[in-house]
C-alpha cells in the first residue's frame, strides 16, 4: 500500500526532466534563428533621407543650363519617335527635348537632349552648340531639383543626313550626356544644315 505513491513520484520526475530538455532545445533553436537571420541595413520604416544615396535619382530632366552659351532651358519636353527610324524634335525654336527611351542624365548609358540649331527664320536653342569648348560646364536639373553637372569632352560636326544612331552612339561604359542638333523633323528649312553633337561626361 505504501509503494504506490513512491512509484508515482518516480514517474513524475522523468516527465519534468523531459520538459526541461525540450525548453532548453527551444532556446537554442531561437538563438540559432537570430544568428542566421539576415541583417537589414535600412529598417523597413526608415525615412527616405536615411537611405543610402544612389549615383542618380533617375528622375526626368526638367532644365538645362549651359553658362558658356548663356542658355537656360527651364522646360524640357519628352520626345518620341515619328516612324521610319526618325526621332521627334522640339516643336519650337527654343525648345529642348529629352529622349526618355534612354537613361536620365547621370544614369548609366547615354542620355540624349535635342534642340534646333535653326527653326524657320529664327535661331534655335542649340544654334551655337558647335562653339562649346572642351571643359565647358553643362548642368541638368531634374524634376526633384537635383542638379547633375557635366563637362564637355569634345564636339563633333556631322553631315546633315547623319542618323541619330551615329550621333548618340556610346563611347564608354559610364554615364554620358549627348547634346545633338535636330534633324529637321519640324524644320524642313534646316535639313541642309550640318548636325552637331556635344559629348559630355560627369564633372569630376
- Give a yes or no: residue 31 inside a domain: no
For every one of its 204 residues, what pLDDT tens digit does the chain have, with 9 covering 90 and above? 444 444 444 433 444 444 343 344 444 333 433 333 333 333 333 333 332 223 344 799 999 999 999 999 999 999 987 766 677 888 888 999 999 999 999 999 999 999 998 887 889 999 999 999 999 999 999 999 999 999 999 999 999 888 888 999 999 888 999 999 987 644 444 455 789 999 999 998
- Give a yes or no: residue 142 inside a domain: yes
pLDDT of the residue at 99 = 92
Burial of 151 (0-12, 13-18, 19+ CB in 10 A): middle
- Give a yes or no: residue 32 inside a domain: no
Q: How many domains does the chain have?
A: 1
Cα→Cα distances 149→63, 69, 139, 167, 178, Å? 12, 15, 4, 21, 13
Nearest to 16 by CA among 8, 28, 6: 8
- Give a yes or no: residue 2 inside a domain: no
pLDDT of the residue at 184 = 60
- Give a yes or no: residue 129 inside a domain: yes
pLDDT of the residue at 80 = 86
* Beta carbons of 132 and 68 less than 8 angstroms apart: yes
Q: Which domain holds residue 74?
A: 61-202
pTM beyond cutoff 0.85: no
- Give a yes or no: residue 48 inside a domain: no
pLDDT of the residue at 168 = 93
CATH no. for residue 122?
A: 2.40.260.10
- Give a yes or no: residue 25 inside a domain: no
pLDDT of the residue at 125 = 94
- Give a yes or no: residue 88 inside a domain: yes
Amino acid at each position: 500500500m505504501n509503494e504506490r505513491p513512491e512509484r508515482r513520484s518516480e514517474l513524475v520526475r522523468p516527465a519534468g526532466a523531459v520538459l526541461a530538455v525540450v525548453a532548453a532545445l527551444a532556446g537554442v533553436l531561437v538563438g540559432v534563428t537570430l544568428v542566421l537571420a539576415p541583417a537589414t541595413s535600412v529598417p523597413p520604416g526608415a525615412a527616405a533621407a536615411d537611405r543610402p544615396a544612389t549615383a542618380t535619382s533617375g528622375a526626368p530632366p526638367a532644365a538645362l543650363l549651359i553658362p558658356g552659351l548663356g542658355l537656360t532651358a527651364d522646360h524640357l519636353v519628352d520626345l518620341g519617335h515619328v516612324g521610319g527610324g526618325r526621332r521627334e524634335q522640339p516643336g519650337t525654336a527654343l525648345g529642348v527635348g529629352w529622349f526618355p527611351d534612354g537613361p536620365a542624365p547621370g544614369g548609366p548609358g547615354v542620355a540624349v537632349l535635342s534642340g534646333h540649331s535653326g527653326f524657320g527664320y529664327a535661331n534655335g536653342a542649340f544654334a551655337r552648340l558647335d562653339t562649346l569648348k572642351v571643359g565647358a560646364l553643362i548642368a541638368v536639373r531634374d524634376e526633384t531639383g537635383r542638379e547633375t553637372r557635366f563637362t564637355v569632352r569634345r564636339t563633333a560636326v556631322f553631315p546633315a543626313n547623319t542618323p541619330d544612331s551615329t550621333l548618340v552612339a556610346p563611347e564608354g561604359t559610364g554615364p554620358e550626356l549627348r547634346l545633338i542638333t535636330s534633324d529637321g523633323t519640324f524644320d524642313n528649312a534646316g535639313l541642309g544644315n550640318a548636325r552637331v553633337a556635344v559629348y559630355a561626361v560627369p564633372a569630376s
